Structure 1
Amino acid sequence: MISENKNTFSRRSFIKASALAGGGIMIGFNLFQACKENVEVPIDLSALNYNDFNAFIKISPEGKVTIFSPNPEIGQGVKTSMPMIIAEELEVNWNDVYVVQAPLDTKNYTRQVAGGSQSIRHGWTALRQTGATAKQMLVNAAAAKWGVDASECTVNDGVITNAKGETLGYGDVVTEAAALEVPEEVTLKDPKDFKIIGQGKGNVDIDRIITGKPLFGLDYKEEGMLYASVLRPPAFGQVLESFDDSGARSLPGVVDVITIGKKIRDFKEAGKKNWSMQMSGSDKVVVLAKTTWDAFKGKKAIKATWKTETPLESTEMHDKVLTDLLDGKKFKTRRKDGDIKKAFANADKVIERVYESPFLPHNTLEPMNFFANVTDEKVHLVGPVQTPESAETVVSELLGRDKKDIHVEMTRMGGGFGRRLYGDFVYEAAEISDAVRKPIKMVSSREDDMTTGVYRPSTKYKIAASIKDGKVTGYYLKEACINGNMYGLIPNFFPAAAIENYQVDTANYKSNITTGAWRAPYTNFLASAEQSFFDELAEELGVDRVQLHMDLLDNAKKNPNPNIEYSPERLQGVLKLAVEKSNWGKAEEGVYQGLAVYYCHNTHVAEVADITMENGVPNVKKVTCAIDCGIVINPLGAMNQARGGVIDGIGHSMYSDFGFTNGVPQSNNFNTYQLIRMGQTPKVDVHFVESDIDPTGLGEPTLPPVGGAVANAIYKATGSRLTKQPYMNNLQSKKVVG
């Protein structure tokens, strides 16, 4: 619980304008405690260049507040929740707040990123300080005007009141406040006094979304802009050999046909690297046209010849490679507690299972697209990207342009799920515009997105546990993954420290298929595998599933050197809450329940899935979800995030399958790639643990455990243990369902 708080802003880094045209105060703030020194703010509001700032609170003489939000908005709600935090400490009426998306500003920010469910967690303290500091400056100005001590003043909804009952609105004192020193210490509100935080607030963009106003990348247009459609290699491992563009050039609306790719190759051949650059080095054919449809038609008319440069991989090959890795000895040990070999040698019994998951595309509702206008004076980039700073860095290198000449604006995104962490679509747009020196919009079709994208890597886990005298004495997790997957923190997730002998090893196969983060990276399938395994382990031990977890978490609490990321107490808390709210073990006849409890992305979650069998097919009827994410900023948005993660997790674990034949993706649209249907979505009952602990993330943590909960419920219904996703394929291969 926080009340008194030493201000981390220096006078220079807090940034304030001493006199704004027409009155008002513009206060710069950094959402990630990374404000930089010596940043000057223009005093003429009409001359403001947002690229010179971090982000701002603007208070008008009428008391209206504008907050410029720097983080990319991908549907996770930060454009609403972050301003709520500032408004809470600023002590203004939420109805008087207007929110604006800020552009990329690498001069003043160090983390303008949407990824890993980290925005709120990293911004919490700095956002609160920003609002509280602004409020204190306004109160100090009012107190000086009245000739009273600031401690005698109170604030409510942007109105300052002194002991005599006299009032001044924020708008009445903004000019005086701008001339004051930034206070070195501010008082942050006790969470019990929050009036905005903890209240459900609608999405700040909702009116524009439902009325179809321009918000997204696909909406952005400029005068004279051409549309670009890119023909990329049809198979991973192929490159362009030759092409005939006569058919495309003959079509009405087609303006030009060019090739790109040299700048990307030069970048890679120079030994330069950037994690966001998941791209083929092949030349690509680009059709430029007056409309998107004209560009798409022109691309279809291109007759291209491709040559194989590296081996063309297939699902069968990947299956064998991963199996060989699991059985081999080329592993990197990520964590090793005790002696696994000794525990297994002395065991009464060892249980071992292998769990498998396929590649998955991201399938964002809005396909990849980006606007670029490259001129001698500047490079103007606009569109939906989760990592705008990386995009700026790579474009600077590709085009040989100074970063100060590159201006990146972020639009709202029609989904990200990790796909828009990778800026290949930005780099293509920049290279195209640089080649033709015209404003262009690169637009991908659904088929482009699904067949030439970045995928969740196919992965296999081998999990083994030793049992001695009715106790779990050893736990060994081996991961084999295409292009690698697991990273340093996951070996410190549960059951680390809960089992005396514990080891995590990883191995990977380097593939020419582009892979990367997919919603809830690393844990999206691992949680399903581990929680399915623990369900089977409890059955083998003849103990209650809930009690097994509670006992193991008690072990972790007693461990003198746990070295863990999760909180055993908080995991036990969500487990108890999920059991209570789901009526665990008391389901009505014909309803089968499965349980999973998991920690990832700094949040603790437990879920119970209720399924029924309908015409021999499992149907997820309800999921009860208990979450400990600390203080819940916006319950309405949080509920939506939690439910969305659960439904997404069910859909992909149950139905979605993806693979390759000779380097070519086996699906190119939703007629052959199944997403969850409306009729297959369950009721999702969400419960948050009441807490005054600093908030963590919600965009991803509810997705990983639900696959395990569903698999465990299906086992109760069918007697079949599911070890391979998608589960429906697994059930059909076992002839459990028709």
Structure 2
Amino acid sequence: MATLTKTTRRDFLKIAGTTAGGLFIGFNWLGCDSPKMEVLTDEQVLSQAKGFNAYLSIAPSGDIVIYSPNPELGQNIKTSFPMVVAEELDADWKNVRVMQANLDQEKYDRQLTGGSGAMPHSWERLRKAGATARYLLVAAAAKEWGVPASEITTEASKIYHKGSGKEASYGDMAIAASVLEAPEEVTLKDPKDFKIIGTPVKNVDNQAIFTGKPLYGLDFYREGMKHAMIQRPPFGMKIKSVEDAAAKNVKGISDVMVMENNVVLIGDSTWPLMKAKKLLKIDYEADGLVESSSDHDRLFREMLDSNKAEERRRDGNVAMAFKNAAKVVTAEYQCPFLSHSPMEPMNFFAHVKENSAELIGPTQTPDRAASAAAEILGIPKENISVEITRLGGGFGRRLRADYVEEAVKVSKAINAPVKVTWSREDDITGGAYRPAVRYRFEAALDADGNMIGYKLKGAGINAGNSTRQNNFPSGAVDNVLIESIDHNSPITTNPWRAPITNFLAYAEQSFLDEVALEANRDPVEFRLSLLEKAKANPVGGELGYDADRMIGVIKTAAEKSNWGKNPNVSQGFSVYFSHRTYVAQVADIEMENGSPVLKKITAATDCGMVINPTGANHQVRGGIVDGMGHAMYGNLTFENGLPTQKNFDKYRLIRMKEVPQIDVHYVDSGYDPTGLGEPALPPTGGAVANAIYKATKRRLRRQPFIEQEEFSDLNLEIKRA
């Protein structure tokens, strides 16, 4: 059914292009007042259009340019956003050209990439932008042809009036449409009439990526700029002394200086900088806490045994439930620090001038970059420009602006444009990791195998609240206690793909399998029974999740994976809700020559409407590979404030030969689209661990799996089928 949606001048910008002979429409997501009308040439349009969040232009040639505002780091937003605009416009996708918009703090709302929130936040706004442009084109045609607008149809960038046989291209009507009044209300399409949304569309940057066009921050170069690399101290330490004579003698090095607690090398290119950096001799001394992984093991025990944890949720009478329990199940699960390890290490360009600064590079939060630069320089934020390049990965690491701040400070210090580049070693040892966490679970069962009590205590190292107290199984158990406690460490941490849930899901779902086993219940049936209870009579009031949608993905995953029907296959189940999306997974494992072989992972996802099946499949598969790889292999340990793993020779990532078959399915729940960049990752570790237990009868309670001593006699190098 079509939707009537209100569009006001506080939401919509229409810029007349009478000189250029085109229609230019931008959407103002912040809701600020529209700017004055301008008469623009084509060149002016291309330059000024960058200032709009979602910007649409139509030229007399029929070319359509759509600007995508959010940073693109592989989540396919640069393709899916324009697809939504083009759908409501009834555009011919072959005529659409997509360009990356830069930061505009007045016109953009939520111009960032993080939390899988871009599409649910922008869905209706993008539709309005395309629908309003289509309205104006139809109105222009109706006026010129002298026919009712209601009799006019559009398709593939063309306008038709069946009764008179008249037709025109969007380009033909662009000039006339540009002078019409934008409507306050506009009708959106009925989803059943979508022609672009729901069809597989290739990444709009594919050709440029394949041919090596300069898209990424590392590609950026400007004549005359300097290069810089930085030696950062171990966590909790400060510089005592520096010997830099040998580094300064390297050809191509122009300066070596101490800035705050870092040693900065300036040069003509990155190669001499990397050579010179190895020649530095730096002595450090303690500056507060200096921690090792052995300290963290002690801290976890102390925190879990303490009575200082913060209560996050309490339902019912927990003490009485455990006192009366027929059986109590207890287990602890632990995860390590992890590096984000994006393909493209941190880098950024900065040119600081007298009362302004130009920033160019890969950032998930361009507004944060501008704010940080303004604070450092003591100048108005509006004097900072930020050009967003494509990001070679981020996974949350580029939410921070530390590497941007470095570029700004160095440019200011040397009074020249500079590009700061991190090496891979810098990237892994430079901080902002996924927090390390240990969880203690307890479940109380009655004589019939029903879970009547549930306790979770999370102890984190710089994790903040390491629980999600309103997620399943909360609301499905009568008596619940959830607590968290955190240690403030000098080791810097940051959101890591699917923050907190990336490990919590594995721990919760593995523990629920332990409980189901003790209750003599099938793991899938056990979860479904809990969800039916939550659906009928949720404990504690409103749920933080939709029980029906979770039931839907569970049943779909069980059906598509033939759950429990093949006695020769050991299957592990997991389901999780995060970032508005529901994902259930089943891992299939068979034993070959004493080793578990992961044959397949079946995933069922409810992300609402699927905009682009190609991009959606990439996100689900990528999340599963990421979740499996880090659960199996990823580990970052510390000795005296310094990571033991400094490069990929010791920091283990999953390899192509270890990626199993992945079978992806979607549940059409009828909801608007939700996020997909993160939700497929959390359930994977639990599905694999539960399958390994089914096959080996050995429980994986710590990550990475391959380093558990209990498995020293078992080859856990899971092979691709």
Shorter-normalised TM range: over 0.9
| Counterpart residue type for residue 558 of structure 1 | A
Q: For the residues of structure 2 that align with 1:730 and 1:178, how far apart are their CA atoms? A: 66
Letter of the 1:224 counterpart: G
Q: Which amino acid aligns with 1:227?
A: H
Shift in Å, 1:19: 2.8
- Report the Cα offset of residue 13 of structure 1: 3.6
Question: Alpha-carbon deviation of 1:160?
Answer: 0.7
SS in 1 for 2:533: helix
Instruction: State the secondary structure of the residue aligned to 1:49.
Output: helix
**Partner Cα separation in structure 1 for residue 481 and residue 111 of structure 2:** 36
Alignment match, 2:644: 666
Whether 1:627 and 2:605 are equivalent positions in the alignment is yes
Say whether 1:408 aligns with 2:404: no
1:198 maps to what in 2? 198
Q: RMSD of the alignment, in Å?
A: 1.5
**Per-residue deviation, 1:301:** 2.0
C-alpha distance in structure 1 between counterparts of 2:93 and 2:500, whole Å: 37
Cα contact 2:465–2:486 (8 A) shared by 1? no
- Aligned 8 A contact 2:49 2:55 in 1: no
**Which residue in 2 is equivalent to 1:43?**
39
Matched, 1:343 2:321: yes
- Residue 719 of structure 2 corresponds to none
Which deviations, in whole Å up to 9, do the C-alpha atoms of 1:240-274 show, x marking residues without a partner?
2221222122111112222323xxxxxxxxxxxxx
Q: d(CA) in 1 for partners of 2:590 and 2:93? A: 44
**Matches for 1:174-323 after TM superposition, within 5 Å:** 174-233=174-233, 235-261=234-260, 283-323=261-301
Which residue, 564, 584, 587 being the options, matches 1:585?
564
Select which of 14, 17, 20 maps to 1:19.
17
Cα deviation per residue 1:499-537 (whole Å; 9 max; x = unaligned)? Answer: 111121110011000011111101001110111111111
User: In the TM superposition, what whole-angstrom CA distance separates every residue of 1:85-109 from its partner, at most 9, and x where no partner exists?
Assistant: 0000000011111000010111111
Q: What percentage of aligned pairs have identical amino acids?
A: 48
Q: Is the 8 A contact 2:431 2:491 kept in 1?
A: no
Q: What is the CA-CA distance between 1:735 and the residue it aligns to? A: 3.6
- Which residue of structure 1 lines up, in the alignment, with residue 55 of structure 2? 56
CA–CA distance in structure 2, aligned partners of residues 53 and 191 of structure 1: 27
Q: Secondary structure at the match of 2:181?
A: coil
Contact between 1:459 and 1:481, CA under 8 Å: does it hold in 2?
A: yes
Inter-partner Cα distance in structure 1 for 2:594 and 2:486: 38
3-state SS of 2:17 partner: coil
- Residue 133 (str. 1) matches residue 112 (str. 2): no
The 1:351/1:192 distance shift into structure 2, 3 A limit, reads same
Question: 1:12 and 1:350, CA in 2 relative to 1: closer, same or farther beyond 3 A?
Answer: closer
SS at 1:106 equivalent = coil
> Does the C-alpha gap of structure 1 residues 563 and 628 become closer, same or farther in structure 2, counting only changes over 3 Å?
same
- Counterpart in the other structure of 1:272: none
**Secondary structure at 2:214 match in 1:** coil
Task: Name the stretch that deviates more: 49-58 or 157-166.
Answer: 49-58
Partner in structure 2 of residue 502 of structure 1: 480
CA contact (8 A) 1:53 1:107 kept: no
Distance 2:548 2:346 in 1: 42
Give the distance between the partners of 1:231 and 1:677, measured in 2 at CA.
Answer: 30
Q: Distance in 1 between matches of 2:275 and 2:257?
A: 15
Structure 2 partner of 1:435: 413
Distance 1:245 1:487 in 2: 43
Q: Which of these residues, 355, 359, 362, is aligned with residue 340 of structure 2?
A: 362
Comparing 708-717 and 462-471, the one that deviates more: 462-471
- Which residue of structure 1 aligns with residue 30 of structure 2? 34
Structure 1 gap ranges (5+): 262-282
- Structure 1 length normalisation: TM-score? 0.94
Deviation at 1:619, TM superposition (A): 2.7
Q: CA deviation at 1:469?
A: 2.5
Q: Is 1:529 equivalent to 2:503 in the alignment?
A: no
| Bigger mean CA deviation after superposition, 194-203 or 14-23 | 14-23
Residues 5-49 of structure 1, C-alpha deviation per residue, up to 9 Å, x if partnerless?
Answer: 222x3225411112343211111114xx43321434543243343
Distance in 1, matches of 2:192 and 2:464, equals 41
Please report how far the alpha carbon of residue 317 of structure 1 lies from its aligned counterpart in structure 2 after TM superposition: 0.8
Name the amino acid aligned to 1:44.
L
- Could you tell me which residue of structure 2 aligns to residue 570 of structure 1? 549
Letter aligned with residue 24 of structure 2: M
Measure the CA separation in 1 of the matches of 2:622 and 2:704: 19
Residue 423 of structure 1 pairs with residue 419 of structure 2: no
Mapped contact 2:12–2:34 kept (Cα < 8 A): no
Unaligned runs of 5+ in 2: 717-721
Letter in 2 for 1:652: H
Partners of 2:53 and 2:19 lie apart in 1 by: 20
| 1:71–1:80 CA distance, 2 compared to 1 (3 A) | same
Question: Which residue in 2 is equivalent to 1:168?
Answer: 168
For the Cα contact (< 8 Å) 1:722–1:731, is it kept in 2? no
What SS does structure 2 have at the residue aligned with 1:121?
A: helix
Equivalent residue for 2:148? 149
Q: What is the aligned partner in structure 2 of residue 280 from structure 1?
A: none
The Cα offsets for residues 439-475 of structure 1, whole Å up to 9 and x where unpaired, read as 1110000000001121011100111111113211011
- 4+ runs deviating over 6 angstroms: none
> Is contact 2:16-2:22 (8 Å) kept?
no
Is contact 2:549-2:669 (8 Å) kept?
A: no
Structure 2 counterpart of 1:84, one-letter code: M
Give the residue type in structure 2 aligned to 1:171.
G
2:528 maps to 550
**Corresponding residue pairs, total:** 710
2:696 aligned with 1:696, yes or no?
no
- 1:450/1:387 CA distance change after superposition, 3 Å: same
Partner AA of 2:619 in structure 1: Q
Letter in 2 for 1:585: G
SS of the residue corresponding to residue 425 of structure 1 reads helix
Q: Normalising to structure 2: TM-score of the pair? A: 0.96
1:649-668 CA-to-partner distances (Å, cap 9, x unmatched) read 11000111111011110100
Does the alignment pair 1:481 with 2:480?
Answer: no
Pair 1:68-2:47 in alignment: no
What is the CA–CA distance in structure 2 between the aligned matches of 1:730 and 1:42, rounded to whole Å? 66
* Residues 462, 486 of structure 2: 8 Å contact kept: yes
Question: 2: distance between equivalents of 1:487 and 1:34?
Answer: 32
Is the 8 Å Cα contact of residues 19 and 178 (structure 1) preserved in structure 2? yes
Given that 1:28 and 1:55 are in contact with CA atoms closer than 8 Å, whether structure 2 keeps it comes out as yes
Displacement after TM superposition at 1:303 (Å)? 2.0
Could you tell which deviates more after superposition, 612-621 or 214-223? Answer: 612-621
Q: Residue 584 of structure 2 corresponds to which residue in structure 1? A: 606
Instruction: State the Cα distance separating 1:562 from its structure 2 match.
Output: 3.3
Contact 1:492 1:563 in 2 (8 A): no
CA distance in 2, matches of 1:22, 1:209: 32
Tell me if 1:517 matches 2:521: no
Amino acid of the structure 2 residue aligned with 1:39: P
Q: 1:295 Cα deviation (Å)?
A: 1.3
Whole-Å separation in 1 of the counterparts to 2:70 and 2:413: 31
Q: Does structure 2 conserve the Cα–Cα contact (< 8 Å) formed by 1:13 and 1:39? A: no
d(CA) in 2 for partners of 1:527 and 1:535? 12
**2:585–2:683 contact (8 Å) kept in structure 1:** yes
In structure 1, how many angstroms separate the alpha carbons of the residues matched to 2:148 and 2:587? 58
- Per the TM alignment, residue 710 of structure 1 is displaced from its structure 2 partner at its CA by 0.5
Q: Deviations over 1:609-639 (max 9, x none)?
A: 0122344332322100000000000000100
Q: Return the match for 2:447 from 447, 469, 482.
A: 469
Q: How far is the alpha carbon of 1:50 from its aligned partner?
A: 4.6
Find out whether 1:334 has 2:312 as its counterpart.
Answer: yes
